[in-house]
């Protein structure tokens, strides 16, 4: 069983007086920096000159400096850049500014787990990984709550790394929801597996394929969209609140029985073998190697091409039209906070 920490368990004050540099102001960066600042921390955001986030961050009351200057200023450097960019920025701007006793911090263990970044031994290396998209880190905080987070310690020469991680997690609001301790390896491998097999990859293919089967059988795309995509959120909300049994308690006996008999025809023993092969690619570094080479050597061209193909899918076209015609509960969609994800 892993330990769970809450606000009341986090009493020490190691982070007070430390200067926190947040590199990047995208999905996670904008949320961490604003939450930290509003919780009383001393924060500077590091951005490239001309970044489209610069003005938005300043408008939100944040202090912005160029990356090198921000790294020189901070005692705690938090790397909230895209995973494939981190090594370059580390070598150019972070490493030259790391002093003994500083902290190097991540929200995902990718660069440490796969050896892309090797920090000096006299620097604390820890992680605070919110288990949610960045905009939820922000909106839940503004609502007086937070999202659960994982913490992990990779290097601890000062002896304070775990306390610093817990305090940081508390300052971004996660101590209100619950903080769990893990390792860089466990976080990286389970995070990649979860998003590939279940949350992003598995889920989008399930939705898309179900939609295709209905439309190819002659049903109206709008009806297929509701069945295969729109209602998914309502079902997942029930699972989120009470697990699978609670979901089945709320749906009809017809849906429950149909689910039990047909679910295993969709997710077969072969699917499980495929999931195991995905996990192996993650564990042995195959996925990381391919992803870094796609982004750094191929300029993300395949990613752009596949994204374009998915955007052209009838499911997306129908969905766009339907959503513009309907009143949809957008709670938690992040419309009210700036999120400079994927800016130039």
**Positions in the binding site for ligand NAD (CB under 6 A):** 24-29, 47-48, 51, 53, 67, 80-83, 85, 89, 107-108, 129-130, 133-134, 340-343
Question: Which residue's C-beta sits nearest to ligand NAD?
Answer: 26
User: Cβ of residue 334: shortest distance to ligand NAD, in angstroms?
Assistant: 10
User: Cβ of residue 191: shortest distance to Mg ion, in angstroms?
Assistant: 4
- Among candidate residues 30, 32, 108, 135, the one labeled active-site is 108
**CA nearest 212: which of 226, 224, 222?**
224
User: Cβ of residue 148: shortest distance to ligand NAD, in angstroms?
Assistant: 12
Q: Which does 103 bind (CB under 5 to 8 A by kind): ligand NAD, Mg ion, none?
A: none
User: Cβ of residue 145: shortest distance to ligand NAD, in angstroms?
Assistant: 17
User: Cβ of residue 202: shortest distance to Mg ion, in angstroms?
Assistant: 14
CB closer to Mg ion out of 156 and 190: 190
CB closer to ligand NAD out of 30 and 170: 30
Helices 286-296 and 269-283, packing angle to 10 deg: 70
**Spatial separation of the C-alpha atoms in residues 232 and 228, rounded to whole Å:** 7
* Phi and psi torsions of 297, nearest 5°: -100, -35
Task: Tell me: does residue 187 bind Mg ion (CB under 5 A).
Answer: no
**CA nearest 226: which of 331, 315, 329, 311?**
315
Start-to-end CA distance of the chain, whole Å, equals 42
Please, are residues 307 and 105 in contact by the beta-carbon 8 Å criterion? Answer: no
Q: Tell me how long the chain is.
A: 344
CB closer to Mg ion out of 31 and 67: 31
Q: Which does 340 bind (CB under 5 to 8 A by kind): Mg ion, ligand NAD, none?
A: ligand NAD
Tally DSSP H helices, then E strands, for the chain: 16, 9
Strands (E), 167-242: 179-182
Determine which residue in the list 139, 146, 191, 202 makes contact with Mg ion, applying CB under 5 A.
191
Q: Which does 89 bind (CB under 5 to 8 A by kind): Mg ion, ligand NAD, none?
A: ligand NAD
CB closer to ligand NAD out of 268 and 302: 302
Contacts of residue 141, Cβ cutoff 8 Å, sequence gap at least 6: 31, 34, 35, 38, 172, 173
**Spatial separation of the C-alpha atoms in residues 307 and 341, rounded to whole Å:** 16
The yes-or-no answer on residue 32 being catalytic is no
Q: Give how far the C-alpha of residue 198 lies from the chain's centroid of Cα atoms, to the nearest Å.
A: 14
Binding site for Mg ion (CB under 5 A): 191
Q: Which residues have a catalytic role annotated?
A: 108
């Amino acid at each position: 069983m892993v330990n769970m920490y809450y606000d009341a368990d986090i009493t020490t004050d190691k982070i007070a007086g430390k200067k926190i540099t947040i590199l990047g102001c995208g999905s996670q960066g904008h949320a961490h920096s604003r939450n930290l600042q509003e919780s009383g921390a001393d924060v500077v955001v590091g951005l490239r000159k001309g970044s489209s986030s610069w003005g938005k961050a300043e408008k939100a009351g944040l202090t912005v400096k160029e990356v090198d200057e921000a790294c020189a200023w901070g005692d705690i450097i938090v790397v909230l850049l895209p995973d494939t960019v981190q090594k370059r920025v580390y070598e150019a701007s972070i490493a030259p500014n790391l002093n003994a006793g500083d902290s190097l911090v991540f929200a995902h263990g990718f660069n440490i787990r796969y050896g892309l970044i090797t920090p000096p031994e006299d620097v604390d290396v820890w992680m605070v990984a919110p288990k949610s998209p960045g905009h939820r880190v922000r909106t839940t905080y503004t609502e007086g709550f937070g999202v659960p987070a994982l913490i992990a310690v990779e290097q601890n020469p000062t002896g304070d790394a775990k306390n610093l991680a817990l305090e940081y997690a508390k300052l971004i609001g996660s101590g209100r929801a619950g903080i769990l301790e893990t390792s860089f390896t466990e976080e990286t491998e389970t995070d990649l597996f979860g998003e590939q097999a279940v949350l992003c990859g598995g889920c989008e293919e399930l939705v898309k394929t179900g939609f295709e089967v209905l439309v190819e059988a002659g049903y109206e795309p709008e009806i297929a969209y509701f069945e295969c995509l729109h209602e998914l959120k309502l079902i997942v909300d029930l699972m989120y609140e009470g697990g699978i049994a609670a979901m089945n308690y709320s749906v009809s006996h017809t849906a429950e029985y149909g689910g039990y008999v047909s679910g295993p025809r969709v997710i077969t023993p072969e699917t499980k073998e495929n999931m195991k092969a995905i996990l192996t690619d993650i564990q042995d570094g195959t996925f990381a190697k391919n992803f870094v080479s796609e982004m750094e050597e191929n300029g993300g061209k395949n990613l752009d091409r596949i994204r374009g193909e998915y955007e052209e899918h009838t499911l997306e076209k129908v969905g766009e039209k339907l959503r513009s015609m309907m009143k949809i509960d957008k709670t938690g969609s992040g419309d009210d906070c700036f999120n400079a994800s994927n800016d130039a």
